[in-house]
Each structure stands twice: as structure tokens, then as C-alpha cells.
Amino acid sequence: MNRREALSSVALLLGGTIIGAEAFLSGCKAGESKLGASLNLTPNDISFLDEVGETILPTTASSPGAKATKIGEFMRTIVNDCYEEKDQKIFLDGMQKLDAASNTKNGKSFLSSDDKQRHDLLVDLDKEQKEYAHKKKPEDPTHYFRMMKELTLWGYFSSEAGATKALRYIAVPGRYEGCIPYKKGDKAWAT
């Protein structure tokens, strides 16, 4: 799978476009765009993003969760290398807003919350970002949680673990079969 195919697959899952996709597809060449400054995320920040990703895509009996794919490191790389400075700021501020929302809702930080509290918080934030997206004007910025969710889905389903364990995958496909039976509950195919 090349970058363009992976990005298209994730965009289809999300029903739209992905922030930073143009820079990613063009190779993220420094000095040729208006990309932001280098991010200084700490190991604690990366762990925080790993836990956000794991809450969005948790480990199941049949596949590893987003944390196993080092999703926090993936997010850091894409935000650092492919996001414009204004989008980097939204993402970084969003990390603080998410933690503040956890303190308000649960009386403790996101990392101190249990799995159910984390899940319920992210469900609320997902509803919030959907309402925001429905009302926002084209010039309005993207909601921070949408960025985190997009990056989690993109990073996970383009990782080896996501493509081979969460999706059906054939490393070397055989002949073309235009009609393959699908049963409800079957995994989607990796491209």
C-alpha cells in the first residue's frame, strides 16, 4: 500500500479529508511549505497520546489496540512534519483541553481515569466535534478531537498490526475476484 492509498482509505473511513494530508503526500519536504516549527513533545505527551489512541481503538481478543502500534509517536511525527503551525497549535492546545475536560467530568486527569471514564469522555468529545463540524464555516479551524481521532485511525489501519490483525490481508494476492462473499461481521480488507 502506498501513502496515497492508505490516506484515501482512512479518509473514506472518516468521511472526509485529513488535516496535513497534502504535506504527507508531497513528502513533507522542509522549507517548501508553511509547515510549523518542530514540536517538543515529552515522553509523557507521547504516552498521553498512546492512551487517547488506545481508548479510541482498544485491544481486543483478535487484534492489538492503537497503543501497540505506537500511535502517540505516529501522531507526533505527522503533526510535527505535516501540520501547518496553526494546526499544530490546535492539536497541542487540544491535548490540554482534553485533560481539562477529564478533570471537569471525572475529577481527575485523563491518565488517572479508568477505562470507562476515558471512553465516556471521548464519546462526549466525539459528539462535540461532530456538532462543531456541522456548524463550522470553511474558515473555522478543525476541532482538536477530530484531529486526534483521524490520526489514530490513519496510523492504526496503515500499521502492520492494524492491516494484518484488524483487517483481512493477503500479502500477495492471487487472481482478481470481483465478487467475494461477505458475511455480516467479517473484517474489511486491507488495501
Q: What is the pLDDT of residues 36-77, one digit of tens each?
A: 567 788 999 999 999 999 999 999 998 999 999 999 999 999
**Residue at 75 is within a domain:** yes
The answer as to whether 180 is a domain residue is no
- One-letter amino acid at 124 equals D
At 33 the pLDDT is 46
Lowest mean per-residue pLDDT among 21-35, 68-82, 135-149:
21-35
Q: Which of 3, 1, 92 is nearest to 41 (CA)?
A: 92
CB 90 within 8 A of CB 141: yes
Average pLDDT over the chain, rounded to an integer: 84
Residue 37 domain-assigned? yes
Residue 32 vs residue 153, higher pLDDT: 153
Asked if the structure places residue 177 within a domain, the reply is: no
Domain that holds residue 17: 3-166
Say if residue 1's pLDDT is above 50. no
Residue 81 resides in a domain:
yes
In a domain, 50, yes or no: yes
* Grid cell at residue 3: 501513502
In a domain, 181, yes or no: no
Q: In sequence order, what are the residues at sequence separation of 6 or more whose Cβ sits closer than 8 angstroms to the Cβ of residue 49? A: 41, 71, 72, 75, 76, 95, 148
Judge whether 22 lies within some domain.
yes
Number of H helices, E strands in the chain: 8, 0
pLDDT at 2: 47
State the Cα angle at 21 between 87 and 158, rounded to 5°: 115
Mean per-residue pLDDT, 96-106: 97
Domains: count for the chain = 1
